[in-house]
Amino acid sequence: MTTLKANLVDVTQRKIYAAEVSFEHGAITAITPVAETVTGFLLPGFVDAHVHIESSLLVPSEFARMAVVHGTVATVSDPHEIANVLGVQGVEYMIENGKQTPFKFFFGAPSCVPATIFETAGDEVTVADIEKLMQRAEVLYLAEMMNYPGVIFDDDLVHQKIRAAHKAGKPVDGHAPGLRGEQLRKYIAAGISTDHECFTLEEALEKLNLGMQVLIREGSAARNFDALIPALKSHPFQIMFCSDDKHPDSLLVGHINKLCARAIALGYDLFDVLQAACINPVKHYKLPVGLLQPNAAADFILVDDLVNFNVKQTYINGKLVYDEGKILIDSVEASAVNKFNITPLQVDNFAYTPKETEHIIICEDGQLVTRKLVCNKANINPQNDVLKIAVVNRYAKAKVATAYIKNFGLKQGAIASSVAHDSHNIVVVGVDDESMCKAVNLLVENTGGLSAVSATESYVLPLPVAGLMSNRDAWEVANLYTQIDNFSKQVLGSTLRAPFMSLSFMALLVIPSIKLSDKGLFDGDTFTFLREV
């Protein structure tokens, strides 16, 4: 029997009192009020309600080691990224690696692999695959249904996937940026219960008032916390916090605990904040995560105060996994699985002569949505911060797709990534074709990763696990990422807060309004090509 004394924060009863918590065999056996002065505060552990572990560049077992430092005990994880590369094999890789660590990973069955017919992915997840995945105890929901046009216009394959989840008694996650009105109502009527893609308060409130759960997202690229947090006051039982996509340098600094601190600093009610951060995800997804109640799993954290939420200890199933600066989870060996069928490119593969007018991509810092701009040929040059972007098919030999993009700010060189949502081909932005070719070939040589090059220097962070993740120590990966990120900003001149994260979304066709796939320049508003390869 283990006991702890601290100020217990009972979120359900909305009260705080000094207590002794007793636990053994992974569960809380008793919570006893005490009439004495105690220090610290015991809370239910934090839950990231929607995250792609792959975007941390870490395998699940290493993600866990970094997350527990910030009091995260569980994630609702969509393995959509690795599934686009390796199919069900990738989902199984994430599940099995996550099992090797004392952390609560809960996975979804990817609903949209490939995400669209307008790009080349590495594999497919079929309806039959989803039906099998739904039988697994580790798979608790159908992951984000990005094909909202398919839902609205009654695509039979889409609805078969939704029915498979409902038949298994598991919820369906949504993904419907900007969807409003009657189309939104039809989307919800199909049985889709969440959305993490709201980018205006008005959109969030409409979805909340129609009964959806809205996830407030604050990741490395997409940052919607400031816009959406007012909804917490009116709908505290329908709000969750999530990161969606979070790079290792950002995870090193904080996780859901930082969102709690920001909300408290803005004056939001403590119990509403913790309801979103700890309770609502567990209730909605029916997660086997304890909520600091007798007879529940002993999943809880000890924090210094209820302002900054600096974590002193993290317990999962009664096991102390983080203790005042000491991470008590060991690294495990992670194999490298991949699909990377490409040979080095030549500079002329990136050649393209712009037409008199071109549709160019306007990258919005801190957002996944982009804007379209018609640009005259005379203005397409690095001096106007209009750079070339290219997507290279990494699964088969094909012609390189090219376009133009604004707001990356590069003054020299190029940056490239094999993390390129959703299909994870290689995406590269650069000042000149030579640099772009050099950056891409570094990734070919390493079978995936992030790269940044100038005329005299080159940096690469290899990602041998599906071209998405490293199998190295989390802090080593964070350090390597920080180096390449700093080089892209301080030497190459990028003005973006997270240039590699932003780059990874420039091929994400399901987010409006203009993106580039390996097959051409795509209009995300009309779901048609503006220009094919």
378-392: pLDDT as tens digits: 999 999 999 999 999
Average pLDDT over the chain reads: 96
Q: What is the mean pLDDT of residues 127-145?
A: 96
Would 37 be classed as within a structural domain? Answer: no
Would 307 be classed as within a structural domain? Answer: no
Whole-number Å distance between alpha carbons of 432 and 325: 45
Would 325 be classed as within a structural domain? Answer: no
pLDDT band for position 202 (50/70/90)?
A: very high
Q: What is the mean pLDDT of residues 153-169?
A: 96
Question: 275 and 362: one domain?
Answer: no
267-302: pLDDT as tens digits: 999 999 999 999 999 999 999 999 999 999 999 999
Q: Which of 256, 287, 318 is the last residue of a domain?
A: 287
DSSP-assigned letters across all residues of 194-244: EE----SHHHHHHHHHTT-EEEEEB-SS-B-HHHHTTHHHH-TTSEEEE-B
Least Cα distance to 278 among 21, 528, 444, 49 occurs for 49
Question: 264 and 396: one domain?
Answer: no
Question: 267 and 412: one domain?
Answer: no
416-455: pLDDT as tens digits: 999 999 999 999 999 999 999 999 999 999 999 999 999 9
User: What pLDDT shows up at residue 222?
Assistant: 74
* pLDDT of 220 above 80: no
- The CATH number given to whatever domain includes residue 55 is 3.20.20.140
Q: Which of 287, 304, 333 is the last residue of a domain?
A: 287
Q: How far apart are the first and last CA of the chain?
A: 66
Question: 361 and 243: one domain?
Answer: no
- Burial per residue of 274-295, b for 16 or more beta-carbon CB atoms within 10 angstroms, e otherwise: bbbbbbbbbebbebebbbbeee
pLDDT band for position 368 (50/70/90)?
A: confident
Question: 283 and 354: one domain?
Answer: no
Identity of residue 253: V
Question: 244 and 356: one domain?
Answer: no
Would 165 be classed as within a structural domain? Answer: yes
Q: Which of 287, 312, 328 is the last residue of a domain?
A: 287
Question: 392 and 527: one domain?
Answer: yes
- DSSP 8-state assignment for residue 383: G
pTM here is 0.94
Q: Which residue range(s) make up the domain with 498? A: 347-532
Question: 352 and 207: one domain?
Answer: no
Question: 424 and 508: one domain?
Answer: yes
Would 507 be classed as within a structural domain? Answer: yes
Question: 280 and 358: one domain?
Answer: no
Would 8 be classed as within a structural domain? Answer: no
Question: 282 and 352: one domain?
Answer: no
Say if CB 146 and CB 115 are below 8 A apart.
yes
User: What pLDDT shows up at residue 367?
Assistant: 84
Q: How many domains does the chain have?
A: 2
* pLDDT of 511 above 90: no
- CB proximity list for 381: less than 8 A, separation 6 or greater: none
Question: 55 and 201: one domain?
Answer: yes
Would 342 be classed as within a structural domain? Answer: no
User: What pLDDT shows up at residue 58?
Assistant: 98
Would 371 be classed as within a structural domain? Answer: yes
Q: What is the mean pLDDT of residues 309-320?
A: 98
